[in-house]
Structure formats: structure tokens, C-alpha cells
């Protein structure tokens, strides 16, 4: 452990980080993200109307400098990944082979990086932007491949994202190291990036820079609220408390309540960084996503979360739909939908979640988290359908005297269903994870993974099929 004396004799950032109660890596990350605001203003106002090459040079230089500021010579690992993908697409881009090679190389490169550089805790090193870059490079190979397929075989989404021209070296480096999404995401399609470089993503028809200050400051303000919560409240719910004797000696209900709050505050840091980074993207103009029905500009292309919808969510499905939006969209677009040939949505979902687990790292905690998420979402969907279609349950849930009880119960359950898997996501090692789950008798695993699937496949699904059959028979009887 680093002593106080060693900290005081370290560099300025190291010393300052220690004084404000954080570490140097986190401080460098925060500085880098906030630096995106003046950089975005310069890009928007001073480079507007210049050539794409000029913008690529500026973005590449700044992005590499930010990377070096955070990760030093390890920046070379990220640059090598971009270089490899450029060569791959230059040689065989647009073919099925390029997609397979890209997928295997980028995911393999990431997993090997985890194996070499990962520790037993959450790491703030170059593998963080690398995991974001991994998805970005895979998407480029897919979209280029789609661009070489017959148009009639493409979905409307694929048509809007595909392209035929392989990216140049400067372009792919710029695309990889754009400072708005370099360190924390979100995912952003290359075709839209090209539109931005060509000055097509504007909220006006006069050709002037977009008026992005107000929407950017609105998102930044929300992000700063989460940032303040991160500083003031989150330290009160540390993961380390879960493996203490004090937690073990507390009551069962208290343990569940703490897991609820722990889970909620654990994801606060992700929300914070997503919102602040989204503000950078909006300010630069790259987040422009067209206009709504009223003709107002939308700035949602780089959204990582919908704060209001997330905070008011009363089900796991609603929470998932509003959280980590760009990654979930990427997963659906390039993994889940591409597995349609399997003919089974459950298998596609499991494979997608296993990919997501591997993308996060090699620790067993990630896999446990996402497998639990699969079963919890399945329960959430089926339980909601039961309360909708079974008359007695529907009547009880809709009774006006049950409204407040329903609100409290649903919110508690949603927080518990979110927090329970996150225990393993944060603690990572099974030796630690087991200490927590055994204190709550593995209640989540027993109910969601064992009891509910048995009840679901033995009772619920057959009942739904019977009801559908009866409905068809009634409809047929009416038509005769």
C-alpha cells in the first residue's frame, strides 16, 4: 500500500488526488472528460467548414494526446488495434471473412489484454477505452460488409448505417480516438461520423455551426448532480462492507435493503460519466439526430442513459431499456439480430449476454451477473403478463387502495433485482461473492434460476398456450 509520505513526494496530480480522496487514474479521467468541453467549442466554431482531413488531424492528435495523458505508452496498444483494423478492411473489407476476422481479433485482443493487465479489482487502465474500441471496430467491419450486400437483403437499419468505401488510416484513427467518446463511450456508427466530418449534421439549413450550448449545458447540469451524489453519498455504501462481519451479523431484511442501495449507488458513477461525456458530444454537434415532430433539434445520438425514465422505472425491463443505451443498441444490432438464424430468441439472448460478459472481462462475477440478468428479465416479463391477463391478479393490482403499496413494492423489487446481480459484477471473485450470497441464502439464484423456470415451463407457458387456443376457438366460432 502506498504511504502518505510516498503520496506527498509523488507528482502534483498524485498528491492532489490523494488530498481530495481519489486516485490519480480517476483524476486524470475526470480532467480528460471535462477538457472535452473547450475542445468541442473549438472544433465546432473554428474548424466548421474546413475539410474532413483537417478535422481528422485535429481529432487524432487531441485523442492520442488525451490517451497518452491517461495511459502513457500503453496508448500504443490502442493505436495498434486501429492500425490492424485499417489493414484488415483495406485488404478484405466488405467480405464475410473480414467480419469473422474482425470479430475474433478484436474480442481476442481484448480478452488477452484482460488476462495480462487485469487485477482482482475494477481496473482504470487502457483496457477501458480498448473495450469501447473493440465494439466500434467490429461494427465498422459489419457495416462495410452490409454495404457490399444486395440492398434488398438489408433491413432499414442496416441501410442507414452501411457504406461501401473502406476507411482510410487517418479516418479510422480519428474515428477511434474522438475525444467525445474515447474514454467512456458511447458507441457511434462510422457512417454518421462521416456525415459529421462532412458538415451534414446541422440543426439549421444555413450551414452555420449548430446551436448546441443550451442542450449541452442541460445534460452537463444533470451530470453534475450525479457527480455531487457520487462524492457525497456513494462512499456511504461501499462494496467492501458486504464482506464484513457487521454485514453478516445484520438482519436478513437489512441485508436485502443494503443490497438495494448498494446496487443503485454502484451504477451512479457510470451514469455520471455517460452524462458528462454526452454533454461533450452534444456541444461538438456530433450528437445531432434530426428533428422531432415539432421541428426541434434532437441531440440523442450519443445518449447513454435517459435519467428521468431510469429513475422512475418500476421494472427491470424499463430500467434496462433506459440504461447503457448505446451498448445495448450495439449488442442488439451486431449480435442478437445476427443470431436470428438460430431460430430461438432465448438462445440468442443467452449468447448475447455471454458476449457482453466476456466483453467486460474474464472474472466469473461478470458472467454470474449477466446470466442472472437473463433469468430476472424473463421473470419480469412473465410476471407482468400474468398480472395483466389473469383477472383476479389484474383486479388486485389495479385496485385504487393498492396504488401506493404497488409503487413501493415494485420499486423495492426493481432495486433488489438490480442490486443482487451487481454484487458479483463489483466483487468479481467468487470467494468474495459467495460470502455475500450465502448471507441471503442465495435467494436470487434459487428463485430466478431454479424455482421460477420450473414454474414457468410447467405452469405459466402451458396456461398461456391454453388461453391463446381458447381465444382462437372463440374467434373461429364467431366467424362461422
Catalytic residue chosen out of the listed positions 70, 106, 324, 368 = 324
Catalytic residue chosen out of the listed positions 360, 363, 368, 369 = 360
- Give catalytic status of residue 344 as yes or no: no
Here the contacts of 166-170 (C-beta below 8 Å, separation 24 or greater) are 166/89, 166/90, 166/93, 166/94, 167/86, 167/89, 167/140, 168/86, 169/83, 169/86, 170/53, 170/56, 170/57, 170/60
- Give catalytic status of residue 324 as yes or no: yes
Residues 262 and 423: beta-carbon distance below 8 Å: yes
Residue with cell 435493503: 257
Buried residues in 87-107 as b, exposed as e (16+ CB within 10 A): ebbeebbbeeebbebbbebbb
The C-alpha atoms of residue 284 and residue 281 are separated, in whole angstroms, by 5
Q: What is the 3-state secondary structure (H, E, C) of the chain?
A: CCCHHHHHCCCHHHHHHHHCCCCHHHHHHHHHHHHHHHHHHHHHHHCCCCCHHHHHHHHHHHHHHHHHHHHHHHHHHHHHHHHHHHHHHHHHCCCHHHHHHHHHHHHHHHHHHHHHHCCCCCCCCCHHHHHHHHHHHHHHHHHHHHHCCCHHHCCHHHHHHCCCCCCCHHHHHHHHHCCCCCCCCCCCCHHHHHHHHCCCCCCCCCCCCCCCHHHHHHHHHHHHHHHHHHHHCHHHCCHHHHHCHHHHHCCHHHHHHHHHHHHHHHCHHHHHHHHHHHHHHHHHCCCCCCECCCCCECCCCCCCECHHHHHCCCCHHHHHHCECHHHHHHHHHHHHHHHHHHCCHHHHHHHHHHHHHHHHCCCHHHHHHHHHHHHHHHHHHHHHHHHHHCHHHHHHHHCHHHHHHHHHHHHHHHHHHHHHHHHHHHHCCHHHHHHHHHHHCCHHHHHHHHHHHHHHHHHHHHHHHHHHHHHHHHHHHHHC
Q: At what angle do helices 268-284 and 213-232 cross, to 10 degrees?
A: 160
Q: Which positions are annotated as active-site residues?
A: 324, 360
Amino acid at each position: 500500500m502506498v504511504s502518505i509520505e510516498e503520496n506527498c513526494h509523488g507528482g502534483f496530480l498524485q498528491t492532489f488526488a490523494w488530498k481530495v480522496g481519489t486516485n490519480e487514474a480517476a483524476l486524470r479521467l475526470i480532467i480528460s472528460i471535462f477538457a472535452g468541453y473547450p475542445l468541442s467549442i473549438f472544433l465546432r466554431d473554428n474548424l466548421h467548414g474546413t475539410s474532413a482531413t483537417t478535422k481528422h488531424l485535429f481529432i487524432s492528435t487531441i485523442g492520442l494526446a488525451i490517451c497518452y495523458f491517461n495511459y502513457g505508452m500503453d496508448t500504443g496498444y490502442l493505436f495498434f488495434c486501429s492500425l490492424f483494423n485499417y489493414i484488415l478492411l483495406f485488404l478484405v473489407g466488405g467480405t464475410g471473412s473480414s467480419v469473422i476476422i474482425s470479430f475474433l481479433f478484436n474480442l481476442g485482443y481484448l480478452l488477452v489484454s484482460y488476462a495480462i493487465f487485469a487485477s482482482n479489482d475494477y481496473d482504470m487502465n487502457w483496457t477501458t477505452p480498448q473495450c469501447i474500441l473493440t465494439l466500434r471496430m467490429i461494427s465498422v467491419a459489419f457495416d462495410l460488409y452490409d454495404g457490399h450486400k444486395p440492398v434488398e437483403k438489408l433491413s432499414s437499419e442496416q441501410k442507414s448505417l452501411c457504406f461501401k468505401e473502406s476507411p482510410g488510416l487517418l479516418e479510422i484513427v480519428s474515428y477511434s480516438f474522438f475525444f467525445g467518446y474515447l474514454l467512456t463511450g458511447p458507441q457511434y456508427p462510422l457512417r454518421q461520423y462521416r456525415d459529421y466530418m462532412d458538415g451534414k449534421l446541422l440543426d439549421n439549413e444555413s450551414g452555420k455551426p449548430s446551436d448546441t450550448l443550451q442542450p449541452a449545458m442541460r445534460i452537463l447540469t444533470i451530470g453534475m448532480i450525479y457527480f455531487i451524489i457520487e462524492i457525497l453519498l456513494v462512499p456511504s455504501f461501499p462494496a467492501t462492507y458486504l464482506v464484513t462481519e457487521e454485514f453478516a451479523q445484520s438482519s436478513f431484511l437489512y441485508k436485502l435493503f443494503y443490497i438495494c442501495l448498494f446496487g443503485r449507488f454502484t451504477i451512479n458513477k457510470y451514469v455520471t460519466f455517460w452524462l458528462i461525456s454526452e454533454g461533450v458530444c452534444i456541444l461538438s454537434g456530433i450528437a445531432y439526430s434530426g428533428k422531432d415532430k415539432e421541428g426541434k433539434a434532437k441531440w440523442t445520438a450519443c445518449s447513454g442513459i435517459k435519467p428521468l425514465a431510469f429513475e422512475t422505472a418500476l421494472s427491470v425491463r424499463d430500467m434496462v431499456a433506459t440504461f447503457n443505451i448505446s451498448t445495448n443498441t450495439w449488442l442488439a444490432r451486431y449480435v442478437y439480430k445476427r443470431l436470428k438464424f438460430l431460430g430461438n430468441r432465448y438462445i440468442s439472448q443467452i449468447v448475447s449476454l455471454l458476449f457482453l460478459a466476456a466483453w467486460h472481462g474474464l472474472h466469473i462475477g461478470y458472467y454470474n451477473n449477466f446470466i442472472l440478468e437473463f433469468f430476472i428479465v424473463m421473470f419480469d416479463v412473465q410476471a407482468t403478463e400474468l398480472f395483466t391477463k389473469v383477472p383476479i391478479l389484474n383486479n388486485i393490482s389495479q385496485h385504487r387502495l393498492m396504488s401506493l403499496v404497488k409503487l413501493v413494492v415494485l420499486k423495492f423489487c426493481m432495486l433488489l433485482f438490480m442490486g443482487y446481480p451487481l454484487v458479483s459484477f463489483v466483487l468479481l471473485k467468487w470467494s468474495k461473492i459467495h460470502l455475500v450470497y450465502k448471507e441471503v441464502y442465495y435467494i436470487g439464484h434459487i428463485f430466478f434460476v431454479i424455482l421460477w423456470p420450473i414454474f414457468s415451463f410447467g405452469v405459466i407457458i402451458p396456461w398461456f398456450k391454453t388461453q391463446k387456443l381458447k381465444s382462437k376457438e372463440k374467434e373461429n366460432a364467431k366467424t362461422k
